[in-house]
């Protein structure tokens, strides 16, 4: 019975949890004492969720189905990882002239989508926040996904 009540509660609460995000806000006086606390509910937009954007969802599904996840495989080298400013992508034995790269965040949002004809090429990440990113490299002979750490 207890499990049924918990399950029913989750079913009723889950749609609201998906559609809204709650944040606790505080107000302070001049001396730094907290004088007020309230909950601020923010409605999520379609850009906040991978599930709500079918284009990004299908992009991540395509990448995860086809790409091989590697760090620095012998085919292609991506360095330094972790990166602070400039990321270098160097070809391996399967290098081709034209390569498409896509930079995504952990929520699947597409941050950059570029095509390059030069190897090795560099990606400037100094304007990106610290965190985890995914780099998808795609050409006629190459389809790899690299996990990057930005310091």
Q: From first to last of its 151 residues, what are the pLDDT tens digits of the chain?
A: 677 777 676 666 655 555 556 677 888 888 888 888 877 776 655 555 444 445 555 556 555 555 555 544 456 888 998 999 999 988 765 556 678 899 998 888 889 999 988 778 899 999 999 998 999 888 777 778 888 999 9
Euclidean distance between the first and final Cα of the chain, in Å?
49
pLDDT, residue 57, reads 52
Q: Are residues 40 and 65 located together in one domain of the fold?
A: no
pLDDT, residue 72, reads 43
pLDDT, residue 67, reads 54
Q: Are residues 15 and 58 located together in one domain of the fold?
A: no
Domain count, the chain: 2
pLDDT, residue 68, reads 55
Q: Do residues 100 and 115 touch, judged by C-beta distance below 8 A? A: yes
> HSE of 77 in the Cβ direction (CA atoms, 13 Å)?
10
- Other Cβ atoms within 10 Å of 135 Cβ, number: 21
Could you give the CA distance from residue 85 to residue 143 in angstroms, rounded to a whole number?
Answer: 24
Could you give the CA distance from residue 106 to residue 27 in angstroms, rounded to a whole number?
Answer: 32
Q: Are residues 66 and 139 located together in one domain of the fold?
A: yes
Q: Are residues 65 and 21 located together in one domain of the fold?
A: no
């Amino acid at each position: 019975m207890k499990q049924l009540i918990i399950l029913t509660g989750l079913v009723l609460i889950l749609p609201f949890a998906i559609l809204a995000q709650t944040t606790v806000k505080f107000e302070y006086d001049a001396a730094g004492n907290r004088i007020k606390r309230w909950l601020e509910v923010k409605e999520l937009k379609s850009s906040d969720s991978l599930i709500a954007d079918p284009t990004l969802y299908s992009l991540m599904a395509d990448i995860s189905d086809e790409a091989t996840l590697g760090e620095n495989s012998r085919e292609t080298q991506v360095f330094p990882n972790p990166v602070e400013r400039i990321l270098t992508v160097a070809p391996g034995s399967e290098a081709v002239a034209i390569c498409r790269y896509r930079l995504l965040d952990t929520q699947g949002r597409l941050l950059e989508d570029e095509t390059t004809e030069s190897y090795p090429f560099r990606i400037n990440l100094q304007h990106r926040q610290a965190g985890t990113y995914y780099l998808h490299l795609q050409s006629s002979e190459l389809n790899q996904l690299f996990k990057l750490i930005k310091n």
